[in-house]
Amino acid sequence: MKQNADGTPSRSLRNVDALPLLGGMIAYLRDPLGFLIRTRKRDGDVATFRLLDRKFLFVSDPALIEQVLVKQSARFSKDWFARDLKRVLGEGLLTSEGDFWKRQRRLMSPAFHRERLAEYAAVMVERTERALAEWSVGEERDIHHDFMELTLDIVARTLFSADVEGVGAVIGPALDAVLDWYSNPILVSNPWLMSTPLPAARRHREAIAAMRGIIDGIIRQRRATPDPDNHDLLAMLLAAQDEDGERMTDAQVRDEVLTLFLAGHETTALTLSWTTLLLCQHPEVTKRLREEADAVASGRPLAYGDVPKLVYAEAVVQESMRLHPPAWAIGREALEDFELGGRRYPKGLAIFLSPWSVHRDERWFSEPDRFHPDRWLDGLAKRLHKFQYFPFGGGPRICIGNAFAMMESVLLLSTFARRFEVTLAPSARIAARPAITLRPAHGVRVVLRAAPKSDHDPAHDPAPTTP
Ligand code: HEM
């Protein structure tokens, strides 16, 4: 149904207005993931729903998703949530818009080029080996918590190399406080609560101030005593220049550093946590991962050059992110009237895209709820439409850290499988909690066992046991 000649909304939007105010809201709050799949199946590839005063166009057709994220991307901005996140991330890459964003993206891109990834890979493996050496077998542990610590450590070290001591201790809890605020739908929908004396608001404000304080201190110190041999991410950001020779101000560098911390650590930890849960349910996958890693790097730690050979590990990560995409929802807002699938829609409309729902669509994936890494081994990724599988988004705002994250997930997972086998702990409760990211509601409680010694890996150390 087209927009009316007098400019009044098309029928699809009047349908949204007619939706019961609370009915959709309650169904959504009770089970957002189920709500999305039911809505797609019932209402089709372009559906509408309403949450309180916001109307959403829920788009599930890959070709139309491509229209929003790529072909007509200039007609859409990020959504209200990204605007609110500016209170934390300022004008960082995740939240900025327009020409400013374009310039920042150009300045940041070299930090994620291939040559840089090789250096980050060494940090990733070294920090992982070190962390795993501390994980005892036989005891119950929340491995999601462990992966959060490990990926934070890796982001901190790739960003700050030498200056890292003490940073994690401040940034970790502060990021938790910030993410907690954004995980509460009531707080997120009422940004004005932020300036009230509510304890959650106070914690959130203090967390932002603490993170900015520590990062500002490191930037000041670096500017004062630059080290030409330092090639960490921060050094790249401080040195980056655009065509006019202009550099980022200290405040811009700080916003980008905070953005990389926020965008770059929980998402990767979630990928690893959901993958570990799948390993508990499919022990044969752990065995194949171990055999592959030991065959590729017999008797030595994995390295950057091994990554292209870890094809099964890559398939496991791809399949895990298909079933549990950490970015389960991607939002946009129309900057002007637009047309999609032959219908016209007005400026201001919110667009809701969901990798979760698309990745579980039986039209694109056979047995969509089954964990089956082998489906990726015969070139599936090349045959799929770009937006039948899009854990990293797409178009100009595609995740800048996608190669970093894939490499990190493959290296960490393979290193983990060489050392451990894993089973779910008796106390484990598994449920997905879709906050900003798709989290395990109760962590992922597991028990580790030492992996059997592999024929390929004579030098492999046995894992420590609990005393
Ligand atoms: C498995 C891990 C990750 C997933 C699933 C993921 C997912 C995403 C997605 C879906 C977007 C696009 C959001 C949108 O279009 O609105 C995005 C953007 C972004 N991601 Fe990631 N990400 C991951 C890891 C990382 C890492 C490791 C870094 C950095 C070290 C990073 C930094 C960013 C940044 C800076 C943006 C904003 C890019 C821009 O707008 O230009 N991400 N990510």
Tell me the DSSP string of 117-143.
HHHHHHHHHHHHHHHHTT--BSSEEEH
Give the total number of structural domains in the chain.
2
In a domain, 286, yes or no: yes
Say which CATH number the domain at 197 has. Answer: 1.10.630.10
Closest CA relative to residue 359, chosen from 394, 314, 313, 318: 318
Both 312 and 254 in a single domain?
Answer: yes
**Confidence class of residue 23 from pLDDT cuts 50, 70 and 90?**
low
Sheet containing 330-334: order of strands: 46-51, 54-59, 350-353, 330-334, 76-77
Task: Tell me if 428 sits within 8 A of 446, measured CB to CB.
Answer: yes
**Confidence class of residue 177 from pLDDT cuts 50, 70 and 90?**
confident
Both 246 and 313 in a single domain?
Answer: yes
Q: How far apart are CA 307 and CA 213, in angstroms?
A: 37
* Residue 7 pLDDT: 35
Both 272 and 158 in a single domain?
Answer: yes
Q: Is the pLDDT of residue 450 over 60?
A: yes
Q: Is the pLDDT of residue 242 over 90?
A: no
**Confidence class of residue 241 from pLDDT cuts 50, 70 and 90?**
confident
Both 84 and 109 in a single domain?
Answer: no
In a domain, 123, yes or no: yes
* Residue 17 pLDDT: 40
Q: Is 98 exposed, middle or buried (0-12, 13-18, 19+ CB in 10 A)?
A: exposed
What's the mean per-residue pLDDT of the chain? 89
Both 225 and 303 in a single domain?
Answer: yes
Both 205 and 240 in a single domain?
Answer: yes
Q: How far apart are CA 403 and CA 388, in angstroms?
A: 19
In a domain, 187, yes or no: yes
* Residue 60 pLDDT: 98
Closest CA relative to residue 1, chosen from 336, 346, 342: 342
- Give the length of the chain: 467
* Residue 13 pLDDT: 44
Q: Considering only residues 188 and 140, tell me which one the structure prediction assigns the higher pLDDT.
A: 140
Using the CB atoms, write b or e for 70-85: b if 16+ within 10 Å.
eebbebbbbbebbebb
Q: Is the pLDDT of residue 21 over 80?
A: no
Cα dihedral 263/264/266/270 (nearest 10): 120
Q: Which two tokens stand for residue 375?
A: 């489906």
In a domain, 385, yes or no: no
In a domain, 386, yes or no: no
Reduced to 3 states, what is the DSSP secondary structure of residue 366?
coil
Q: Is 330 in the pocket of ligand 1 (CB under 6 A)?
A: yes
Closest CA relative to residue 402, chosen from 294, 311, 325, 298: 325
Both 323 and 336 in a single domain?
Answer: no
In a domain, 223, yes or no: yes
Pocket test of ligand 1: the residue of 321, 399, 407, 438 to mutate, having most ligand atoms within 8 Å of its CB, is 399
In a domain, 120, yes or no: yes
Both 204 and 119 in a single domain?
Answer: yes
- pLDDT tens sequence across 372-423: 999 999 999 999 999 999 999 999 999 999 999 999 999 999 999 999 999 9
In a domain, 220, yes or no: yes
Which of ligand 1's atoms lies nearest the C-alpha of 326? 5
Task: Give whole-number Cα distances, 203 to 84, 166, 217, in Å.
Answer: 17, 20, 21
Both 277 and 405 in a single domain?
Answer: yes
User: CA triplet 375, 380, 384: central angle to 5 degrees?
Assistant: 130
Q: Which two tokens stand for residue 19?
A: 């939706």
Q: Is 93 in the pocket of ligand 1 (CB under 6 A)?
A: yes
* Residue 363 pLDDT: 97
Which of ligand 1's atoms lies nearest the C-alpha of 393? 10
Residue nearest to atom 16 of ligand 1 (CA): 330
- Distance (Å) from CA 12 to ligand 1 centroid: 32
Q: Average of pLDDT values for 274-303?
A: 97
* Residue 310 pLDDT: 98
- pLDDT tens sequence across 79-113: 988 888 898 999 999 999 999 999 999 999 988 98
* Residue 336 pLDDT: 98
- Residue-range definition of the domain harbouring residue 421: 96-327+391-467
Both 319 and 463 in a single domain?
Answer: yes
Which of ligand 1's atoms lies nearest the C-alpha of 330? 16
Kindly state the percentage of the chain with pLDDT values over 90: 64
Both 81 and 29 in a single domain?
Answer: yes
Which H or E run includes 27?
Answer: helix 21-30
